[in-house]
Amino acid sequence: MKMAPMPLSLFFLFLFTSLFSIQAHSQLITSSPSLPSPLAPALFVIGDSTVDCGTNNHLLTLARADRPPYGRDFDTGLPTGRFSNGRVVVDYLAVHLGLPFVRPYLGLNGKVEELVQGVNYASAGAGVIFASGSDLGMHISLKKQMQQISDTYERLELGLGEVAAADLFAKSVFYISIGTNDFIHYYFRNTTSVRSLYLPWEFNQLLVETIQHELKNLYNLNVRKVVIMGVAPIGCSPHYLWEYNSVYGECVEEINNMIVQLNFAMIYMVHKLNMELDGAMFTFCDVFEASMDILRNRDRYGFLSTTDACCGMGKYGGMIMCLFPEMACKNATNHVWWDEYHPTDAVNRILADNVWSSKHAEMCYPMNLQNMTTNKT
């Protein structure tokens, strides 16, 4: 394996810890302006390509974003494995929380210092259902990601002690963004005739029950604060506009209707868990509604194109995936879609601001992340 330069997040961690000690020191002497301390000790991320920050760079798979033009508008201007021209939602949330960017679990060597400010387990191609996405190659499934979280917890217990590890998990934010591939790379592909086995609502029920099961597993690991994102309107993504021969850019209703029903069932499930599990602060953030608000009001948000991928080929840029820089538009900032399935950095920023403080639209029920992390309980 090649030696990588010092990762950016490690740099931030280093910068932060050194600034922190300077601050602690200076407070003894003067009342110099104090640095904000993080609103949560750590951010842990579970999910798929919507939040993969480099997991799949370590795997044999087609679902990788470790080549240009991916990352061209990122802080470093380099591809990292994020499926975006720049940042993904959890990068913006890390900044809001006062934390460094969260690094992929597969890139770590397992030392406790690398785990205490959070880990990203998300893997492109992963679905709620084990079989989803296997047409793309390797990925870390939801089940496997949960296993990695248990392993992380054990290492923290060994390194920090049981009480401190439990406290760290209880105060940290967990972010879950998964489900897209259960539609794209399973149900709508009719893999293993799944559509003959499950009606749409039955399939949604299966997804909701599986996520509920994993939320309870997290709760049993002392996790209390969880953001669950739901699924975005992929029926409006360039790929499906192309595949379903959309004429004017109208979205594929069959797909979106099923996602709306899934999100509806999810919000109810999350509400129920909050009542059932003592101390649970779970919130459901409806990425479908927030994204539709952007698509319907593109002028207000400053977008020119809501149908075409900045990087891709064919009608809507949805026929061939983003493969090299020459396929990309000049300015991604005025595009909603970066590639055939993923939004641009500009959209991710809006979504993150909504999750954080409901800035542009109310999106999270029963509370936004700012409420979750500033309320003392």
**By rule CB under 6 A, what string of x and - marks binding of each residue 193-212 to ligand NAG?**
x-xx----------------
Q: From the CB of 332, what's the least distance to ligand NAG, in Å?
A: 8
DSSP string of 137-155, one letter each residue = B----HHHHHHHHHHHHHH
Q: Of the residues 49, 123, 172, 237, which is catalytic?
A: 49
Q: Of the residues 308, 342, 345, 353, which is catalytic?
A: 342
**Contact (CB, 8 A) for 119 and 52:** no
Rule CB under 6 A: say whether 23 interacts with ligand NAG.
no
Q: Of the residues 286, 293, 339, 345, which is catalytic?
A: 339
- Please identify, using beta-carbon distances, which residue of 17 and 190 lies nearer to ligand NAG: 190
Rule CB under 6 A: say whether 145 interacts with ligand NAG.
no
Both tokens of 55, joined, read 């997991």
Q: From the CB of 369, what's the least distance to ligand NAG, in Å?
A: 9
Residue 22 CA to residue 218 CA, distance in Å, equals 35
Instruction: Give the three-class secondary structure for 47.
Output: strand
Q: From the CB of 153, what's the least distance to ligand NAG, in Å?
A: 29
Instruction: For the segment 275-314, give every residue that binds ligand NAG (CB under 6 A).
Output: 302
Rule CB under 6 A: say whether 110 interacts with ligand NAG.
no
Residue 131 CA to residue 174 CA, distance in Å, equals 24
**Contact (CB, 8 A) for 232 and 343:** yes
Residue 99 CA to residue 103 CA, distance in Å, equals 11
- Please identify, using beta-carbon distances, which residue of 75 and 254 lies nearer to ligand NAG: 254
**Which member of 55, 204, 358, 373 binds ligand NAG (CB under 6 A)?**
358
Asked about 134 being catalytic, the answer comes back as no
**Which member of 17, 276, 331, 362 binds ligand NAG (CB under 6 A)?**
331
Asked about 135 being catalytic, the answer comes back as no
Q: From the CB of 374, what's the least distance to ligand NAG, in Å?
A: 7
Which element (helix H / strand E) includes 25? Answer: helix 8-29
Point out which span in 48-56, 164-172, 215-223, 363-371 binds ligand NAG (CB under 6 A). 363-371
**Contact (CB, 8 A) for 87 and 348:** yes
The widest CA-to-CA distance across the chain, in whole angstroms, is 72
Rule CB under 6 A: say whether 257 interacts with ligand NAG.
no
Q: From the CB of 204, what's the least distance to ligand NAG, in Å?
A: 16
Both tokens of 371, joined, read 């409420």
Rule CB under 6 A: say whether 191 interacts with ligand NAG.
no
- Residue 104 per-residue DSSP state: B
- Please identify, using beta-carbon distances, which residue of 246 and 373 lies nearer to ligand NAG: 373
Residue 219 CA to residue 246 CA, distance in Å, equals 43
Residue type, 283: T
- Please identify, using beta-carbon distances, which residue of 8 and 367 lies nearer to ligand NAG: 367
Residue 157 CA to residue 133 CA, distance in Å, equals 33
Q: Give residue for tokens 């993080």.
A: 38
**By rule CB under 6 A, what string of x and - marks binding of each residue 167-186 to ligand NAG?**
--------------------
Q: Work out whether strand 281-285 and strand 305-309 pair parallel, antiparallel, or are unpaired.
A: unpaired
Residue 25 CA to residue 240 CA, distance in Å, equals 56
Rule CB under 6 A: say whether 222 interacts with ligand NAG.
no
Both tokens of 253, joined, read 């209703």
Q: How many residues bind ligand NAG (CB under 6 A)?
A: 14
- Please identify, using beta-carbon distances, which residue of 2 and 330 lies nearer to ligand NAG: 330
Asked about 52 being catalytic, the answer comes back as no
Residue type, 156: L
**Which member of 76, 190, 220, 257 binds ligand NAG (CB under 6 A)?**
190
Q: From the CB of 111, what's the least distance to ligand NAG, in Å?
A: 36
Rule CB under 6 A: say whether 357 interacts with ligand NAG.
yes
**Contact (CB, 8 A) for 125 and 133:** yes
Angle at 207 between CA 202 and CA 209, to 5 degrees: 90
- Please identify, using beta-carbon distances, which residue of 161 and 302 lies nearer to ligand NAG: 302
- Residue 124 per-residue DSSP state: T
**Which residues are known catalytic residues?**
49, 339, 342
- The residues binding ligand NAG (CB under 6 A) are 190, 193, 195-196, 302, 331, 333-334, 357-358, 368, 370-371, 375
